[in-house]
Amino acid sequence: MLQNTSTANRPHVPTLAEIEQRRAELARLAGRPQPKPLRQPAEPPPQPKIDPFSTKQSPHPAPRPECPKPVLAEAALHGLAGLVVGTIAPHTEAHPAAILLQFLAAFGNLVGRGPHCMVDATRHGLNLFVVLVGESSKARKGTSWNQIARLFAEVDRPWFDTRVTTARLTAAGLLYTLRDQQPPADRRLLALSEEFASVLNMLKRGGGNLSPLLRCAWDHGNLPALDTHQQLTATGAHTSLIAHITQRELAHNLPRTEAHNGLANRCLWAWVVRSKCLPDGGKLTQEDLSILAGELRGAMDWATATPEILFHRDPPAAELWRHRYPTLSQLRAGMRGAATSRAEAQVLRLSAVYAALDSTSIIALPHLQAALAVWDYCYDSAALLFGMSTGDPVADRIREAIESSPDGLMSKNEIRRIFHGHLEASRIDAALDKLLALGALAVNSQPTTGRSSTLWSASQQNHRMEMEELPEDDEPAEEE
């Protein structure tokens, strides 16, 4: 028979703190000075109250992660974008970065191909690819889009009804939607993929021509025919992408080829979580929404008033650009480096979007600062999401085995035994060299009675390189 372990009928035993408190109360009632406590209480002094839903602090801090959580800087909330985020954010549990990035992507598509930047002979439109990564149902990714959808539906209902699609993203569907027609049709398209894992899974299984079509759509908007039998092409398209995925799905479904062939670096990766707890939901009024829509409609009218708008930087922005360019163009290793290797182009497009929201073709210092703040958030998100992953299954298997070993150390023989002798030593050596170059592993020499033994351990390295650490002759990375 189970013993009754209930403590409901047990007498209450007062703690030392309760005894001291009671003695102090009795002393005050008697008019006598307070006696000194018998000894200091064992409990620490009470801590100030902390908002359990605050994103800046937690009453139960978690162990320090491999990469710091990204923080959206105040500079990103410039102008109309900041007004939108500041108005919507108090009334939703969605992360401010999710609201901001989807707003920028939607506006960049709404204004079409006319506003653009030129870098040598390369034309950059204002179309963005944004991928929000967060836990399913808890990160409020869909909630953040619903707020943006309400706003843009009031700004331009025909665009929202006909040029925003939630259809399953396929190569044939993308090409058919943007196909050349007579007379010319609206070539804008904002693809909302709330199940982006299925798209990546299709690419992982060799999903035809979708990846090259998406890359062409981001670059110049000229999509080639899929086959010779059906001469269906699209020219001058203006395509933007907003995608939602969980971190687990991203890790399992993003193929190495897509990380390194240029699709991943055309995306702005954003780590998002629930920002607050609103049991009764938000209370964004229609009046507040109409005020935002009126401001946004004015920026849209300016951006679409002329067929072509060419953006350029003013002197202060140009000086900041020259200062940050070496860092932006630096080539980095691993999946994190592959996913962020198009930083210059991403910052350029973001700065132009901010300028267009201010109804000006001059990219001023606040516009570039806002773009850099958004990029810093996306870069830190990529560092958090991809970490020390290389995309090489052998290298990643070695890193995982060393990190999970009891003492965090493994010898070369122990590493070889991971693969049960089925892998050549040269392949393992190449993987170790790759992990060393990435900074994921460190080499340790352990003295023995004979020759010293070499052990490999996991290494935590700062993922961000400050400007002063860069060599002056560092060459920019070549663009794919």
State which of 275-279, 328-332, 452-456 shows the largest mean pLDDT: 328-332
Long-range contacts of range 202-210, CB-CB < 8 Å, 24 or more positions apart? 202/170, 203/255, 203/258, 203/263, 204/253, 204/254, 204/255, 204/258, 207/171, 208/171, 209/171, 210/169, 210/170, 210/171, 210/174
- pLDDT surpasses 70 at 9: no
370 lies in the same domain as 422:
no
- Indicate whether 433 belongs to any domain: yes
Q: Are strands 453-458 and 441-446 parallel, antiparallel or unpaired?
A: antiparallel
- Indicate whether 474 belongs to any domain: no
User: Residue 44: its pLDDT value, please?
Assistant: 47
85 lies in the same domain as 197:
yes
Q: 113-117, 276-280, 427-431, 467-471: which has the minimum mean pLDDT?
A: 467-471
pLDDT tens digits, 198-255: 898 888 776 668 999 999 999 999 998 876 566 788 999 999 999 999 988 888 888 6
Q: 276-285, 291-300, 458-467: which has the minimum mean pLDDT?
A: 458-467
The label of the residue with tokens 């002197």 reads 315
> In Å, how far are 21, 26, 36, 163 from 16, measured between CA atoms?
9, 15, 13, 69
- pLDDT surpasses 70 at 476: no
Separation of alpha carbons 415 and 316, rounded Å: 53
Q: Are strands 188-193 and 164-165 parallel, antiparallel or unpaired?
A: parallel
User: Residue 12: its pLDDT value, please?
Assistant: 53
443 lies in the same domain as 350:
no
327 lies in the same domain as 449:
no
181 lies in the same domain as 284:
yes
Query: From the centroid of its chain, how far is CA 139?
Result: 12
User: Residue 357: its pLDDT value, please?
Assistant: 98
State which of 216-225, 416-425, 466-475 shows the largest mean pLDDT: 216-225
- Indicate whether 17 belongs to any domain: no
409: β partners? 457
- Indicate whether 480 belongs to any domain: no
Separation of alpha carbons 221 and 237, rounded Å: 4
- pLDDT surpasses 60 at 467: no
pLDDT tens digits, 122-134: 999 999 999 999 8
377 lies in the same domain as 403:
no
With a threshold of 0.85, does the pTM exceed it?
A: no
pLDDT band at residue 464 under the 50/70/90 scheme: very low
Domain, as residue range, for 376: 74-386
Question: Hey, what are 34's tokens?
Answer: 């307070």
- Indicate whether 171 belongs to any domain: yes
Query: From the centroid of its chain, how far is CA 424?
Result: 37
User: Residue 457: its pLDDT value, please?
Assistant: 81
User: Residue 59: its pLDDT value, please?
Assistant: 39
- pLDDT surpasses 90 at 157: yes
319 lies in the same domain as 202:
yes
- Indicate whether 56 belongs to any domain: no
426 lies in the same domain as 358:
no
**Extended beta strands in 223-330, E state:** 238-245, 267-271, 309-310, 312-313
User: Residue 257: its pLDDT value, please?
Assistant: 64
Query: From the centroid of its chain, how far is CA 432?
Result: 28
**How confident is the model over 287-295, as a mean pLDDT?**
95
447 or 429: which leads in pLDDT: 429
With contact defined as beta carbons under 8 Å apart, do 411 and 99 qualify?
Answer: no
Is 399 exposed, middle or buried, given 0-12, 13-18 or 19+ CB atoms closer than 10 A?
buried
CA dihedral 129, 67, 386, 465 (to 10 degrees): 70
Separation of alpha carbons 350 and 32, rounded Å: 70
Domain count, the chain: 2
365 lies in the same domain as 400:
no
Q: 38-52, 100-114, 281-295, 298-312: which has the minimum mean pLDDT?
A: 38-52
pLDDT tens digits, 331-371: 777 788 888 999 999 999 999 999 999 999 999 999 999 99
- Indicate whether 40 belongs to any domain: no
182 or 162: which leads in pLDDT: 162
Question: Hey, what are 128's tokens?
Answer: 């963005």
48 HSE (CA, 13 A, CB side): 3
User: Residue 262: its pLDDT value, please?
Assistant: 83
